[in-house]
Amino acid sequence: MLLYALALLFLLLAGVGVLRDRRRFGNAVCLGLAVTLLALALLATLHRADSAAAETVLIVVVLAPALGSLVLAGLLIANGLKMVRKEGRSLANLLALLCGLGILAVFALLLAATRADSEVLVVIARTVFLLACYLSFLFACFVGYAYLYGRLTPREDVDYVVVLGTGLLDGSRVPPLLASRLDRGRRLYERQVARGRSPLMVVSGGKGSDEQLPESHAMADHLVEHGFPADRIIREDRSRTTEENLRFSHAIMAAADPDYRCVVVTNNFHAFRAAVFARREGVNGHVVGSPTAAYYWPSATIREFVAVLVTYRWANLAVGALLVIESLNF
């Protein structure tokens, strides 16, 4: 009963967190803990059941994560190879491939530790396994909650539609990824106009070292070329990162109206991390995502997860240190 009670407690904490501000990463962790504890409670109930069917279900449930991890590794490797063929050999494009190989490496290390007569190898394997479980838990929380967050489309009236920039093609042209954001932003703008509102479109993005003009200028030109009214566009052209996109856009909107409301547009894989940063920067609005090519999603999602880990690096380093100490003292 204790596990069920704890699962209910964390579910209530997640619910309260969502009601207060659904942009908090803590909501994802609480929801993940609730699901994990509920799963453990159900496993304990099955373990106590004296029947062949219960034992069969228990064996399947225990083996499923291992088999699922191997299947996931294969899919990530295949996706990573496709990503390299389509997008090139940058570190960001290699993330899915590297994660797939990393999962296989953990399995290989665990297998070697069971067969080798080495206490040092056993300790290393145990430590790596604990850290891998922790990262896997956080990743599952991130992906699951990001999916839920993406389904909660804001419906309130807004004063601004903010579109976050990304790199330009050949230093001057809007790529398909950014065009998708602009299209979603335009649809949100038109929806507001249809409701009698008159919002402004804030296009946010500065000039990179390899770009001929600021991203926001290319974004504004793209919108105007497709019939968007030029007098409804505000260009934020100083930012270099997502945090700066949100910080500088917030400054523009707050200077005009401290009580403004907005909606921020980015790609779907980026929406939840942008929402976390929007909360930290004091932006009064939620984030929505635009569609992304399926092959691009795994590496992009892993990159977003790494960025969130870095954002909460001190908490993650503390937990990681505790896991290492626990492994050494086991």
Is residue 144 over pLDDT 90?
Answer: yes
On average, the pLDDT of the chain sits at 90
Is residue 103 over pLDDT 80?
Answer: yes
- For 14, the enclosing helix (H) or strand (E) is helix 2-20
Is residue 25 over pLDDT 70?
Answer: yes
Determine what percent of the chain is predicted with pLDDT higher than 90.
Answer: 66
Per the DSSP assignment, residues forming a β-bridge with 289 are: 266
Is residue 57 over pLDDT 80?
Answer: no
Is residue 252 over pLDDT 90?
Answer: yes
**Residues 6 or more apart from 302 whose CB is under 8 A from it?**
95, 96, 99
Average pLDDT over residues 81-88: 86
- Residue 102 is predicted with a pLDDT of 94
Average pLDDT over residues 272-286: 94
- Residue 116 is predicted with a pLDDT of 80
Is residue 246 over pLDDT 90?
Answer: yes
Phi-psi region of 155 (alpha: psi -120 to 50; beta: other; left: phi over 0): alpha
Is residue 185 over pLDDT 90?
Answer: yes
Contact (CB, 8 A) for 246 and 281: yes
Is residue 97 over pLDDT 80?
Answer: yes
Is residue 240 over pLDDT 80?
Answer: yes
Is residue 59 over pLDDT 90?
Answer: no
- How far is it between the farthest Cα atoms of the chain? 74
- Residue 114 is predicted with a pLDDT of 87
Taking the complete model, does pTM exceed 0.75, yes or no? Answer: yes
Q: For 189-239, what is each residue's pLDDT tens digit?
A: 999 999 999 899 999 999 887 788 999 999 999 999 999 999 999 999 999
- Residue 53 is predicted with a pLDDT of 62
- Residue 107 is predicted with a pLDDT of 92
- Residue 238 is predicted with a pLDDT of 92
Average pLDDT over residues 134-140: 95
